[in-house]
Chain A
Amino acid sequence: MSYSSTFGGINTALRGLLAHQAAMDTTGHNISNVNTEGYSRQTATLSTTTPYTLPAMNRIIPSQMGTGVEVSGITRARDQYIDRSIRNQFGSSSASNTALGSMQALEVALGEPSENAISGSLRRFLDSMSKVAASPNDPSARQVFAQSASQLASQLNQVDTRIVAVGTESDDRLNQTVPDVNQMTARIASLNDTIKKAVLMGQQPNDALDQRDQLMDNLSKVLNYTYTTNNVTKEVTITFGTTTPINLVDPLVAGGFTAIVRADLDTAYGNGDLTAGQAYGDEDMFNTKIPALRAQLDNLANSLVSGFNAQNTAGFDLTGTPGGNIFNPVGTTAATIQLDPGNNILTNTNLIAAASSWLAPGEPLNGGNALAMAGLRNIIQGAPMNATFENYYGSVVSGLGTQAAQMEQTLGDQANVADAMESRRQSVSGVSMDEELSDMMRFQHAYQACARVLTTLDEGIDTIINRMGRVGL
């Protein structure tokens, strides 16, 4: 026969109570954090405590005696592989998102298609030259031409200014990105430290790990990086770039992180290290896409200036003097195009050289040169335009539109992929209220049952203490 301790069962039941209380607390933690960004659901792992072998003189129970249950750990449900691929996806969709925003701003800056945008001004300008050709001595036709030339020039100036403003927006955002990144890496570094200390003490720092994962998600939306995790201390090392790598977070350096400056982003974009994230989108707009668009408008402005100046110089104005420049020959960009202040056709419309010759007694009805000027509309301009003014500008607009439309499609596609990945991640890590509630019931019932065991044992002991040995009392 073997004998077990009278009070041993109480301890076993107590362990059940405590373990299930901890499990219910974990459930409560999960429910409380159902809406916390980046939270991974936690599970209390229950396992049996160490059994003991009965030191019997003649063992008739061939087994060990169980001593109850304990919470051996609280684990978080997380798939590190999904994290890695989702961060790549965040990087590319965030870059597209930034670029799309800027491109839409550029489309707004151009304001096409509209009567009031450059296309309308350009059309009115070219039309008005036909009007001068039709009535070369009509001051109102000349006035219309001068007005529309001046309007076209100022419209090009304004659009260029608006485009530059879109670039400045990207530039400002990049400047703001730098302290954002440094703040994130500083927090990751401090969480690294917290995590290391907890892990070395044998604890599972679930909430700190969640916070660090969340920060790394956010960082991946800003720039592309690679990272490794130390298997022992669970610290991460985050590296940005391959050509000139910067260890943004590195437990081995003082403070645990390296602060970056704006020049680091510019250099990384220049040597191809920066390939994703909002920083890439902005660097690409600021350094490549916006200058390219401005260069296209500059081409248009330049050929307008040289084409119309050359043609006007070839003719005779309304006083019989050989024509001068229409546009200031110095201002050959969209930003600087303006009527020639030294030969201002707006203040003196006679200066428009409509006549192709000036025979005695004068040829106010000669619109030959105006006709040639109106004909510039259909002339295919030389490289780099290789198209008429209007077709070239049309291709600039549709080029921008195509880029934006493609970006929109890419972004839609990337959003779908990111959604699917997030869905997978949530499938692993997300809190399900129904699940938590059924767990809660499970643990509650177990807790109640343990309490019942305790009461039962109590009653048994009550019998032993208060009823036994009272014969004759």
Chain B
Amino acid sequence: MTQRVTDYHFRQPFLTNLNATNSKMSELSRQISSGQRIGSPDDDPFGTSQVLGFDSKIAETQQYQKNISDASGMLSTEEGAIDNVQSAMKRIRNLVVQAGNSPNQSGYSDIATEILQLKESIRQSANTRFGDTYVFSGTANVSPYPAPANVYAGTTNVMARSVAPGVTVNLTVGGPTIFGPSPTNVLDLCDQIVADLGANNTAAMGGNLASLDANLANISNQRGTIGITNARLESISQQLSQTEESLSAARSKIGDTDAAKAYTDLQTQNTMYQAALAAGSKIMKTSLLDFL
């Protein structure tokens, strides 16, 4: 026996389907207008938590990138400062060699004056700042070698910065690491040389030369370390860029509206909606009443 069909059977499925089409259309237009595929967590619960996860990873990566650009600026400043120190010390070395080879001590006072000037230039480089940060004072952020003393005023701790998950690099350097420990640091050495020159102590020049060479070798090493760190930051930064790119791509794949698909679907739904309306209006207005 076939089911007895009443007015309800025309009206109800028509309304149900029309309503379903309507709600799909409103969802699609929300996706298109907001650009977000997920409007509330129930649209895609797993996708929502993925999007949240990606967002936090992207933010973290961006912070690392900022840290790196900051860090590499600071390290370049340090390299520049050390470069100045190196050339000053090389000049001092030449002067010391000159003094050691000099048959008489007539030029010693001129040499001593120049070395004192070079010493102040080294001090200036050692007190270099990147922005507001003294780069050679460890974590203290104070002028590391305040004039007139040669005593290191900073700390031996260094400022570390996180540049990638689990990777930290040292940014600031404690003065003694580069300029040698007090009371035999580079500045002390300059004073020593000047004192020896004042005493016309030519014989001491050999020992001073050896100390200068040892300090130069150390400074050159430290500069190398900073250079390597900087190069490493460069490659980490490139990796982070790639990571960020793929994270953004993955996030976009999950969280963003596929515009082409959404438009096509909307068009399909719209066609269905109109077809349903047309069919409904034709079926429902006909009844036996029209023919009796």
- B40, A104: Cβ atoms closer than 8 Å: yes
B67 lies within 8 A of chain A by Cβ: yes
What are the nearest 9 A-B pairs in CB distance?
A401-B41, A401-B45, A430-B6, A404-B42, A363-B139, A398-B49, A366-B139, A394-B49, A426-B8
Residues of A close to B132: CB separation below 8 A: 137
Partner of B67, one of A107, A110, A134, A430: A134
By secondary structure, the A interface counts as helix
Q: Closest B residue to A108 by CB, please name it.
A: B40
A133 lies within 8 A of chain B by Cβ: yes
Residues of B close to A126: CB separation below 8 A: 56
Seen from chain B, the residues whose Cβ lies within 8 Å of a Cβ on chain A are 3-9, 12-13, 16, 36, 38, 40-46, 48-49, 51-53, 55-56, 59-60, 63, 66-67, 70, 132-133, 137-142, 153-157, 159-162, 165, 168, 172, 255, 287-289, 292
Chain A 393-440 residues near chain B, CB threshold 8 A: 393-395, 397-402, 404-405, 408, 419, 422-424, 426-428, 430-435, 437-438
- B41, A357: Cβ atoms closer than 8 Å: no
A-B interface contact total, Cβ < 8 Å? 188
Interface residues on A, range: 35 or more
- A371, B162: Cβ atoms closer than 8 Å: yes
Q: Closest B residue to A407 by CB, please name it.
A: B42
Q: Closest B residue to A432 by CB, please name it.
A: B6
Q: Measured between alpha carbons, how far is A127 from B63 in the docked complex, in Å?
A: 7
Chain A 322-352 residues near chain B, CB threshold 8 A: none
Q: Measured between alpha carbons, how far is A136 from B70 in the docked complex, in Å?
A: 13
Q: A363-B138, A390-B53 are in contact. Are A113 and B38 (CB under 8 A)?
A: yes
Minimum CB–CB distance from A24 to chain B (whole Å) comes to: 14
Residues of B close to A405: CB separation below 8 A: 42-43, 45
Minimum CB–CB distance from B198 to chain A (whole Å) comes to: 33
- B155, A363: Cβ atoms closer than 8 Å: yes
A441 lies within 8 A of chain B by Cβ: yes
A76 lies within 8 A of chain B by Cβ: no
A8 lies within 8 A of chain B by Cβ: no
A382 lies within 8 A of chain B by Cβ: no
Residues of B close to A127: CB separation below 8 A: 59-60, 63
Residues of B close to A427: CB separation below 8 A: 3-6, 9
- A394, B160: Cβ atoms closer than 8 Å: no
Chain A 95-154 residues near chain B, CB threshold 8 A: 103-104, 107-108, 110, 112-113, 119-120, 122-124, 126-127, 130-131, 133-137
- A130, B162: Cβ atoms closer than 8 Å: yes
